[in-house]
Chains A and B, each alone.
Chain A
Amino acid sequence: MNSPSENAALVNAGLQRRYRAEARFKWYGRLAIVFGLLVLALLFVDIFRKGHLAFFQTQVQMEVEFSTDRLGLPNTATQADLEEADLNRALREALFERFPAVTGRSERRDLLGIVSQSVVYELEDSLAENPDWLGTTQTLWLTADDEVDMYHKGNVDTEVDESLRRQSDQEIGWFRQLESAGAMRLGFNAYFFTSGDSREPEQAGILGAAVGSLLTLVVTLLLSFPIGVAAALYLEEFAPRNRLTQVIEVNINNLAAVPSIIFGLLGLAIFINFFGMPRSAPLVGGLVLAVMTLPTIIISSRSSIKAVPPSIREAALGVGASHTQTVLHHVLPLAMPGMLTGSIIGMARALGETAPLLMIGMVAFIVDVPQTLTDSSTVLPVQIYLWADSPERAFVEKTSGAILVLLAFLISMNSAAVILRKKLERRW
């Protein structure tokens, strides 16, 4: 047995060491949090740095002459004949005039690559809008090819050897010439928001994927919200405590943790192969995502039903309401804000989901914007996956741009959920 003073000495001897251990332990905790937040910041900064220029597109200034000669029209042509105009030729001549020193056949062909292939259609549209341009020369800003775009945005290392980059030294020379003449600028990239996918990065857009996502989510919401709420009501309010109820509950909890790709296999085997639904369709995608988010919605709906105090039920039953009336008239409206919040969060998860949709064929290259629930389509995350696989440097930027759009949607959905919860949820 030690005397009290000996004990105190023993404790004091170890005290410094113990305090140091305490401080160290606290620092481990701080470091862990800092690490997590740092990675989050790094992720956002990295994506933003790569992607914010995707919303802008390099344009080059050209003087395009719309004379009857250049348009390949007879001299007597009037504004009514503009549909026959050969704008390819007008564009070609404009480019050759801009670079008079270029004379070789193959070099001239390379020269055409400065502007996007879509420029001809742009010219067609502007000419149709302004028929009085006939016979005049207009100074126009035309969409540049993705190679020019990458050069202008500083993504091309001009120091490395010609063979290691996609642009030849000669082309870089042309780009410099345009840049120093002030004939190159960054304009708003309308294609990115108004068109579907394309093999040409400068013409590729996210509209098709965004509409596909919207259609898919509509199906998911229409199926999973009512069914989820109904199931939650049954399990919380009506279900007898028996074997079957137990089995259902265990099932729901397990389904919530099943890997999402398994739901894709389910969709492929059951919906597509057995029921013969169309591949790549938002309908099937929505079904698969509905089945996937259902457990989440049921679980969150149940917890918001649980949060309604029993006194409300007792009061309703006390004034003579039937059980069903109590639930429908009192419990459900009070639990609704919580259910909505849970569903919005579930929808946000469904919006970001990729793997199960790969299984049901929503990975096809689709140019058109889908119109109906059975059109072939893709969704935003899958579009990101497809673009991330493309070799062109310009698609890295598009991918990051699409990610920014997707994250913007997710953040607004989640903030909507938070605001809704703050505004509507009652604390009892």
Chain B
Amino acid sequence: MGASSLLILVLLLSGVGFFLGRTRSRQFANNLGGVRHLHSLPSYYGTMVAYWGAIPGLLVILLWLGFEDLVVRQLTLLSLPASALPTDTAEVELLLAQIDNVASGMLGTSDPLVINAAEYTQRVEDIGRSWMTGMTVVLVLIGLGLAVKRIHPELAARNESEFTFRAVLMACSMIAILTTLGIVLSVLFESLRFFSQISFWEFITGTHWSPQTAIRADQVGASGSFGAVPLFVGTLQISLVAMCVAVPVGLMSAIYLAEYASPRLRGIAKPLLEVLAGIPTVVYGFFAALTVAPAIRNWGEQLGFATSSESALAAGLVMGIMIIPFVSSLSDDVINAVPQSLRDGSFALGATQSETIRRVIIPAALPGIVGGILLAVSRAIGETMIVVMAAGLAANLTANPLESVTTVTVQIVTLLVGDQEFDSAKTLAAFALGLVLFIVTLILNIIALWVVNRYREQYE
């Protein structure tokens, strides 16, 4: 039985359990002369029974799905004769993948070893599946039976089921921690493997990036070098261009909308500007690559500059446009949070409105604005699709925004899209870059959130 139909079966059985529990508690109630003689309402007895069936069942399915693959692989490996086992881990992977494909019927082969192993795998999987089905059903039934037997009028079924409910809610909120843990572990482990091959200092300070590693030892020219400085510089350059667009435009439009605009204009312009944030990044990427980049190249050539068709300027400009609403809505919030008394005081001293804004409101809102800008920077650094489509692949170390540069995210995508093997430095480099990206954006976010919160406390 497949996992999804088993899941439905478990839920169905628990549903049956609910009705069983409810009916049984009602029988007790009828014998005693009414529901008021029970500790809890009959449906709570039903709920309690359903939990007793569903939770062990779901746990078994989850565990099985998670570890089925690992166990089957280990068993398959053990079943292979030791003489046939390759010594290289990469070749073991290859053999296992082949066995897997043959077992699922996607690949034909004439190698008797593989055929035998594939049949074995298939058999192990089949046995595993039937065991999973059997175990789950038996566990669910035992749970339901025990729970129904527990029912008697004094049982605090409501408290029990509420306790379970809260535990389930708590487990759901723990997923956030699990996610962070998953990110850290997945990125960290692969990065550590990378740094065991390439020195950390070379990665952080090297100025030459060419991740092609040689496939054969005697191959020329492709030794692979992993100096990530050009990527960092390229990322910062594009982000800088983006912020040069987003900060003035976003900030000024926020100021105008918050301080000058009529409610009607505000009601129209604010949602329209926010549409910019809802457009998928792949659309911006297309716009940057097919409209903005050629236009910039034409202008550059007319003015006599040598302009690459994948210039940092084009990607940065479009990224800036994407970030405008981000800056403007965050600034809008903090400007609105500045107390009216500060404005009134400034006007009373005879300042014009723009003087009030520049000398009083902006300084008062500055921490919040800076926090918003930091968040925007972290978004610019982590933005992927625009740069993948509009920025280059070549890792040039240059300060000229008309030349093509590459970024951390572009390299992650290029290194990981397509076929990969998981021990080559090339693939692992992507995770090392991911680690850098994660740490940098995390630090920016923490600082930004801290600054914004401090600011909020100031006026609340």
Asked if B29 CB lies within 8 Å of chain A CBs, one says: no
Contacts of A354 in B (CB 8 A): 280-282, 384-385
B409's nearest neighbour on chain A, judged by CB, is: A261
Interface string of B270-294 (1 = CB under 8 A from A): 0011011011111101110111000
State which of A50, A294, A348 has its C-beta within 8 Å of the C-beta of B278: A348
Contacts of A276 in B (CB 8 A): 68-70, 73
Contact of A29 with B183 in the complex, beta carbons under 8 Å? no
Asked if B91 CB lies within 8 Å of chain A CBs, one says: no
Contact of B182 with A227 in the complex, beta carbons under 8 Å? no
Contacts of A31 in B (CB 8 A): 252
Asked if B51 CB lies within 8 Å of chain A CBs, one says: no
Asked if A394 CB lies within 8 Å of chain B CBs, one says: no
B256's nearest neighbour on chain A, judged by CB, is: A29
CA distance A295 to B183 in the complex (A): 14
Contact of A269 with B256 in the complex, beta carbons under 8 Å? no
State which of B183, B253, B283, B352 has its C-beta within 8 Å of the C-beta of A266: B183
Asked if A128 CB lies within 8 Å of chain B CBs, one says: no
B353's nearest neighbour on chain A, judged by CB, is: A22
State which of A294, A384, A403 has its C-beta within 8 Å of the C-beta of B175: A294
Contact of A261 with B413 in the complex, beta carbons under 8 Å? yes
CA distance A230 to B168 in the complex (A): 8
Contact of B173 with A231 in the complex, beta carbons under 8 Å? yes
Contacts of A355 in B (CB 8 A): 281, 384-385, 388, 409, 413
CA distance A259 to B384 in the complex (A): 8
Asked if B172 CB lies within 8 Å of chain A CBs, one says: yes
CA distance A43 to B386 in the complex (A): 14
Contacts of A298 in B (CB 8 A): 173, 176
**Segment touching B, from A96-104, A151-159, A248-256:** A248-256
CA distance A209 to B183 in the complex (A): 28
CA distance A33 to B276 in the complex (A): 12
A41's nearest neighbour on chain B, judged by CB, is: B272
Interface string of A17-50 (1 = CB under 8 A from B): 0110110011011111101110110010011001
A18's nearest neighbour on chain B, judged by CB, is: B352
- Assuming the contacts A46-B291, A261-B413, asked whether A22 and B256 have C-beta atoms less than 8 A apart, the reply is no
In the complex, which residues 370-384 of chain B have their Cβ closer than 8 Å to any Cβ of chain A? 375, 378-379, 381-384
> How many residue-residue contacts, CB under 8 A, span A and B?
260
State which of A35, A47, A410 has its C-beta within 8 Å of the C-beta of B287: A47
Asked if B445 CB lies within 8 Å of chain A CBs, one says: yes
Contact of B283 with A407 in the complex, beta carbons under 8 Å? yes
Query: Quick one: which of A261, A263, A276, A298 has the most chain B CB within 10 A?
Result: A261
Nearest-neighbour CB distance to chain A for B272, whole angstroms, equals 6
State which of B174, B179, B285, B412 has its C-beta within 8 Å of the C-beta of A388: B285
Contacts of B166 in A (CB 8 A): 234, 238, 324
State which of A28, A46, A234 has its C-beta within 8 Å of the C-beta of B173: A234
Contact of A26 with B354 in the complex, beta carbons under 8 Å? yes
CA distance A269 to B291 in the complex (A): 36
In the complex, which residues 213-262 of chain A have their Cβ closer than 8 Å to any Cβ of chain B? 226-228, 230-231, 233-235, 238-239, 247-248, 251-255, 257-262
- Chain A interface residues toward B at CB < 8 A: 11, 18-19, 21-22, 25-26, 28-33, 35-37, 39-40, 43, 46-47, 50, 226-228, 230-231, 233-235, 238-239, 247-248, 251-255, 257-263, 265-266, 268-270, 273-276, 291, 294-295, 298, 322-324, 348-349, 351-355, 358-359, 361, 363, 381-382, 384-385, 388, 396, 399-400, 403, 406-407, 410, 414
* A to B CB contacts below 8 Å, 21 in the list: A19-B352, A21-B352, A25-B354, A25-B358, A29-B260, A32-B256, A37-B269, A37-B273, A47-B287, A231-B173, A235-B173, A248-B176, A258-B441, A261-B409, A262-B434, A266-B179, A276-B68, A276-B69, A298-B176, A354-B281, A407-B283
- Chain B interface residues toward A at CB < 8 A: 65-66, 68-70, 73, 158, 162, 165-166, 168-170, 172-177, 179-180, 182-183, 185-187, 189-190, 248-253, 255-257, 260, 269, 272-273, 275-276, 278-283, 285-287, 289-291, 321, 324-325, 328, 350, 352-355, 357-358, 375, 378-379, 381-385, 388-389, 409, 412-413, 416-417, 422, 430-431, 434, 437-438, 441-442, 445-446, 449
Q: Contacts A36-B272, A355-B385 known; list 15 others, CB within 8 Å.
A: A22-B353, A29-B260, A32-B252, A39-B321, A40-B276, A230-B173, A254-B449, A259-B441, A269-B190, A275-B65, A324-B166, A349-B278, A388-B282, A400-B286, A410-B278
